[in-house]
Amino acid sequence: MRKIASPNELVSEIQGILDYSETKNPSRVKLSSALSDLADRVAGEQDQTDWPDWLKKAKTKDAVVEIRNGRVIWKSGTWIDGTWINGTWMDGTWEDGTWERGVWLYGYWKEGTWKLGTWEGGTWKNGTWHGGDWINGTWMDGTWLDGYWKNGIWYGGTWENGTWVRGTWEGGTWMDGTWMDGIWEDGIWEDGTWKNGTWLNGLWKNGTWRKGTWKGGTWLVPGVKAPG
């Protein structure tokens, strides 16, 4: 699929055709043919007639989309703002907006609200996660309200609740939830249940420690010694 020309590119090319017509005086047929070919490049490559209304209303840039058996397949491009209802996101950049549900395979999420769905991989910069399954990827910052984290790297932000299966926690604040296994590098643990894993450093304020390896940090539970 050829890349769709930007408006500035189109204006420049049309102006070039018109300039040529003034200096060389080509036939009307030649000029018409050139403009027709240019219009075909614009309209013929990215037909939006099959797009659902929610996708048409969204603000996007350079979107490459396929509708497969009625399902939206986002292949590449930039989502600037709007509400994503459902479908599969293969790659691209998400600037802002609301994700209702669907499958995210890879890409870069800058800001916005995630309500439900499955995240397979990519980088999350900031935003609010309400629920769903996180399979793998890199979390930079933001607020995790609830959901199921299977694997990945967490660099910062606030974890409100949910289940952490495995992965590496680099920093941030854990408010509540269940930690199954993984490596805790640093951060603040407010409350919740720790079932297994390795704690390297950080601040533990309250909660239940079942088993695991405590390497170091600050334990603030009154009357209870730090593990190990």
Q: Are residues 110 and 191 in the same domain?
A: yes
Q: How far is CA 54 from CA 40, 63, 85, in A?
A: 25, 14, 7
Q: Are residues 89 and 12 in the same domain?
A: no
Residue 1 lies in a domain: no
89, 104 contact by CB (below 8 A): yes
The pLDDT assigned to 102 comes to 98
- Per the prediction, the chain carries an average pLDDT of 88
Query: pLDDT of 54-104, one tens digit each?
Result: 999 999 999 999 999 999 999 999 999 999 999 999 999 999 999 999 999
Residue 228 lies in a domain: no
- Encoded tokens for 50: 């099959």
81 vs 36: which has the higher pLDDT: 81
Residue 226 lies in a domain: no
Mean per-residue pLDDT, 136-146:
98
Residue 147 lies in a domain: yes
The pLDDT assigned to 176 comes to 98
Mean per-residue pLDDT, 184-209:
98
31 vs 125: which has the higher pLDDT: 125
The pLDDT assigned to 19 comes to 58
User: Is beta strand 71-81 parallel, antiparallel or unpaired with respect to 59-68?
Assistant: antiparallel
Q: Are residues 125 and 192 in the same domain?
A: yes
Give residue 49's Cα distance to chain centre: 26
Domain count within the chain: 2
Q: Are residues 58 and 144 in the same domain?
A: yes
pTM as predicted: 0.80
Mean per-residue pLDDT, 139-157:
98
Residue of 159, 76, 54, 173 lying closest to 122 (CA atoms): 76
User: Is beta strand 173-174 parallel, antiparallel or unpaired with respect to 188-189?
Assistant: parallel
Query: In 44-167, where does DSSP find H-type helix?
Result: 53-57
The pLDDT assigned to 25 comes to 58
Q: Are residues 107 and 189 in the same domain?
A: yes
Q: Are residues 161 and 77 in the same domain?
A: yes
Residue 112 lies in a domain: yes
Q: With 80 as the cut, is the pLDDT of residue 52 above it?
A: yes
Q: Are residues 121 and 143 in the same domain?
A: yes
The pLDDT assigned to 41 comes to 47
Q: Are residues 116 and 70 in the same domain?
A: yes
Q: Are residues 37 and 65 in the same domain?
A: no
b/e per residue 94-122 (b: at least 16 CB within 10 A): bbbbbbeebbbeebebbbbbbbebbbbbb
2 confidence band (pLDDT: 50, 70, 90): very low
Residue 72 lies in a domain: yes
Residue 149 lies in a domain: yes
Q: Are residues 143 and 213 in the same domain?
A: yes
Q: Are residues 37 and 89 in the same domain?
A: no
CA distance 74 to 61: 12
129, 148 contact by CB (below 8 A): no
Q: Are residues 57 and 138 in the same domain?
A: yes
Mean pLDDT lowest for which of 1-10, 149-158, 210-219? Answer: 1-10
The boundaries of the domain holding residue 36 are: 7-43
Mean per-residue pLDDT, 153-165:
98
The pLDDT assigned to 228 comes to 79
CA distance 103 to 133: 10
- The CB density around residue 132, as the number of other CB atoms within 10 Å, is 22
Residue of 47, 75, 78 lying closest to 62 (CA atoms): 78
Residue 141 lies in a domain: yes
The pLDDT assigned to 13 comes to 65
111, 95 contact by CB (below 8 A): yes
40 confidence band (pLDDT: 50, 70, 90): very low
43 confidence band (pLDDT: 50, 70, 90): very low
